Chains A and B, each alone.
Chain A
């Protein structure tokens, strides 16, 4: 069966079983290996992508449910050339160590920025509660998302 979806703004046609995981479609069929597989059971968030703007675990979405949808992966974040604002903030604060959680953290962070919610530490912690990191202790990841949110809102940088 052929499914049609938009991935990082580009139309894609995928010939694959409808129950193939979106994660496998991205990594195996489309060669977009930025999205990582951690647990494969919706616990770790390493495979987070945006599906029609909502953050989801790509390991839990069958291809047939992404049909006609718009998917954004970590590869889409810097497509204008260079880093986007959230990626730059991660670099500045040291929000990455081993890197396996980073694509998912960036996507969860993008969903938070898009929500327009005030970037309190509690709100950011809740926004990334579905993303596990075993290196950083989360503090610098939270700093990065707060920094990007404050810049987005044009507020003074209280924590940079």
Chain B
């Protein structure tokens, strides 16, 4: 049987914070387990010294509208995102992204907090947070703090979360004229780890042009990234062919994906451009 590290299951967030500062070996929090159990069983890197089971912390569940923000608890599963009326109405791209993650077995267990903390460059929800100016709320015995998603991913599988902190929730700002689109390219529709994953958002101006464009991609760098040169190429322009061509040229110059077991740098660059072009074309209706 695989290695079985010691585990504690705190009954409350307060208890969890206390354990996180007990001065012992580092804790590895586990939410739905869909990353950690794969890492332990597959012996991918050294196993954790000890595990903090946060699955029972109901304080970290729930999807709520608070003012002009959608607040989503860290233990929210992909199944809950897919079936949430609030998400379907306010951020349908997030429901669409959740539907592409694994299949029912993974969607019933995988959580947004786990996706953030695991910080895989291929994490499927992560471009959505980057493209929507979402903030990640972290908590510890010292209190809560909020980090923009754009500052959360600090390196390959590294984040701004300290060892004594947990990801508590995300806060997604809701803007009335903002549109968000999501696309994932994998080997098959279900169960695939992405070759390229993309979220695009913009505000439609009174003139029909795009403003405050955000383009975020996964699987093309060591972390999920914003493509700011491409965003600048789209800002202030209508979704017409010449804009799409310019944006694709910008994107191809901007991203530097790598060859790995799932795809090649050349394919990733080509398909990222094609997917972006198609998204713009669909919006322009041409």
Q: Interface residues, chain A, CB within 8 Å of chain B?
A: 17-21, 24, 28, 40-43, 45, 48, 54-57, 59-62, 64-65, 67, 108, 111, 126-127, 129-131
Listed residue (B55, B108, B190) with the most chain A CB atoms within 10 angstroms of its CB:
B108
Query: Would you mind naming 9 contact pairs between A and B with Cβ atoms under 8 Å apart?
Result: A19-B6, A21-B1, A40-B42, A43-B191, A55-B105, A61-B37, A61-B109, A130-B102, A130-B103
A13 to B191 alpha-carbon distance, docked (Å):
33
A42 to B56 alpha-carbon distance, docked (Å):
22
Asked if A60 contacts B1 (CB within 8 A), the reply is no
Chain B residues with Cβ below 8 Å from A20 are 1, 4
Asked if A129 contacts B41 (CB within 8 A), the reply is no
Asked if B104 contacts A64 (CB within 8 A), the reply is no
Instruction: Report the nearest A residue to B50, measured CB to CB.
Output: A19
Asked if A130 contacts B7 (CB within 8 A), the reply is no
A45 to B107 alpha-carbon distance, docked (Å):
13
Asked if B7 contacts A17 (CB within 8 A), the reply is yes
Asked if A41 contacts B38 (CB within 8 A), the reply is yes
Pick the contact of B34: A60, A111, A131 (CB < 8 A): A60
Would you call the interface of chain A mostly helix, strand, loop, or mixed? mixed
Within 173-230 of B, Cβ neighbours of A (below 8 Å) are at: 189-191
Whether B140 is near chain A, meaning CB under 8 Å from some CB there, is no
Pick the contact of B103: A17, A40, A129 (CB < 8 A): A129
Q: Interface residues, chain B, CB within 8 Å of chain A?
A: 1-2, 4-7, 9, 30, 32-34, 37-38, 40-42, 51, 53, 55-56, 79, 102-106, 108-109, 189-191
Chain B residues with Cβ below 8 Å from A61 are 33, 37, 109
Contacts A20-B1, A40-B42, A59-B37: A54 and B79 contacting too (C-beta < 8 A)? yes
Asked if B41 contacts A111 (CB within 8 A), the reply is no
A40 to B42 alpha-carbon distance, docked (Å):
8
Contacts A21-B37, A45-B105, A56-B105: A64 and B7 contacting too (C-beta < 8 A)? yes
Asked if B7 contacts A18 (CB within 8 A), the reply is yes
Q: Give me the 5 closest cross-chain CB pairs, A-B, nearest first.
A: A130-B103, A129-B190, A129-B103, A17-B4, A18-B7
Chain B residues with Cβ below 8 Å from A24 are 1-2
Given contacts A41-B38, A130-B102, 15 further A-B contacts (CB under 8 A): A18-B4, A19-B5, A24-B1, A40-B41, A41-B42, A43-B191, A54-B79, A54-B108, A55-B108, A60-B33, A60-B34, A60-B37, A60-B106, A65-B55, A111-B104
Asked if A45 contacts B9 (CB within 8 A), the reply is no
Contacts A21-B1, A21-B41, A45-B103: A129 and B53 contacting too (C-beta < 8 A)? no
Pick the contact of B106: A17, A42, A64 (CB < 8 A): A42
Q: How far apart are B211's CB and chain A's nearest CB, in angstroms?
A: 37
Chain A residues with Cβ below 8 Å from B4 are 17-20
Q: How far apart are B96's CB and chain A's nearest CB, in angstroms?
A: 14
A64 to B10 alpha-carbon distance, docked (Å):
11
Chain A residues with Cβ below 8 Å from B79 are 54
Instruction: Report the nearest A residue to B108, measured CB to CB.
Output: A54
Instruction: Report the nearest B residue to A62, measured CB to CB.
Output: B33
Asked if A60 contacts B38 (CB within 8 A), the reply is yes
Pick the contact of A65: B1, B41, B53 (CB < 8 A): B53
Instruction: Report the nearest B residue to A130, measured CB to CB.
Output: B103
Asked if A42 contacts B104 (CB within 8 A), the reply is no
Pick the contact of B37: A43, A54, A62, A111 (CB < 8 A): A62
Instruction: Report the nearest B residue to A61, measured CB to CB.
Output: B33
